[in-house]
Amino acid sequence: MVFEEVVGIYLAAKSHRSKQRDLYSLKRLQPYFGGRRLVELRRADVRAYVTLRQGEGVSQATIHRELRFFSAAINFVRLEHDRNDLPNPVARLGLGEASGRVRWITRRESDGLIVAASQFARRPHLANFIRLALNTGCRKNELLRLEWSRVDLEKSILWFEPEHTKNAKRRTVPLNEAAVVALRDQRRWLSVNVPRANWVFAVNGDARLTTIQKGFQAACDRAGIEDFRVHDLRHTFASWLVMAGVSLYVVKELLGHSSITVTERYAHLAPHVGRSAVQLLLDV
């Protein structure tokens, strides 16, 4: 089997919650591994790919994501199609763990970003998306695919069923006052412009906003914020909470992380916890 066959079987058979990311990985892997037979691939070939991507200035986390996709495709075909003869040169390659990116902005910067998102805007979607992301920690697609039927403004909660979340787990998200204000503002605009909207970020009829990348980047540029991505709004939410003294376990639940080890990337933002702990020894 060649690269295209293995990846094609995997993509066709799996229900991908991060299909866009998988297709991006495929786009990067294809030029290097395309047309090559898996039985002829060696670990040295994979390491050469890593070296190539590093030379292009790509982050270690991105390279790991691309190779995880390739490895998952091989393992899927091996298991589901009884192809134990297929080698997996990506497995246990010993690349080391990529440290997760934690980029966050200050509250002042966030205010400037929201103002910039409102400038020249025909609708309030981008500014309200930013407000919601900063105050709920929800992932981009969790918000863009949010329906009004899963919004309870009276109880101040959002809820997500397994099919709505990355790790396929049910989650309830509490709303603070800022998030409620953003949702009410969004509903007011829709009541006039898209009166029968089912989606929180509806644009017309049954259509919804599917991407905010360009508008978000333009807002960052106007606000003078560099190296800041949409997903970093989620990092900012978590960082603010940890710096305010909120337990990592509470942050884990709010973010919907499957493991505390993922949330621990924010631990360095709470040095005050360690200082408070050692002070307790003085009372012993």
Q: Please pick, among 208, 234, 235, 252, the residue that the annotation labels catalytic.
A: 234
Is 80 exceeded by the pLDDT of residue 17?
no
| pLDDT tens string 52-85 | 998 998 888 889 889 989 998 999 999 888 888 8
Non-local CB neighbours of 168 within 8 Å, separated by 6+ positions: 17, 162
pLDDT attached to residue 94: 62
pLDDT attached to residue 132: 98
> Considering the domain 107-230 in this protein, what is its CATH number?
1.10.443.10
**Where residue 266 falls among pLDDT bands split at 50, 70, 90?**
confident
Quick check: is 10 catalytic? no
Cα–Cα distance for residue pair 85/132, rounded to 1 Å: 49
Task: Identify which has the larger pLDDT, 9 or 101.
Answer: 9
Quick check: is 92 catalytic? no
Quick check: is 166 catalytic? yes
pTM, full prediction: 0.70
Helices (H), the chain: 3-13, 19-33, 43-55, 60-80, 107-118, 125-136, 140-144, 177-193, 213-223, 232-243, 248-255, 260-263, 271-279
Task: Identify which has the larger pLDDT, 268 or 136.
Answer: 136
Quick check: is 64 catalytic? no
Quick check: is 214 catalytic? no
Q: In the predicted model, what is the mean pLDDT of residues 152-163?
A: 94
| pLDDT tens string 20-48 | 788 889 999 999 999 999 999 999 999 99
Q: Please pick, among 139, 145, 171, 235, the residue that the annotation labels catalytic.
A: 139
- Diameter of the chain measured on Cα atoms: 68
Phi, psi of 94 (to 5 degrees): 70, 45
Q: Please pick, among 14, 64, 123, 166, the residue that the annotation labels catalytic.
A: 166
Length of the chain in terms of residues written:
284
Cα–Cα distance for residue pair 95/103, rounded to 1 Å: 23
Domain ranges of the chain: 3-80, 107-230
Quick check: is 32 catalytic? no
pLDDT attached to residue 278: 62
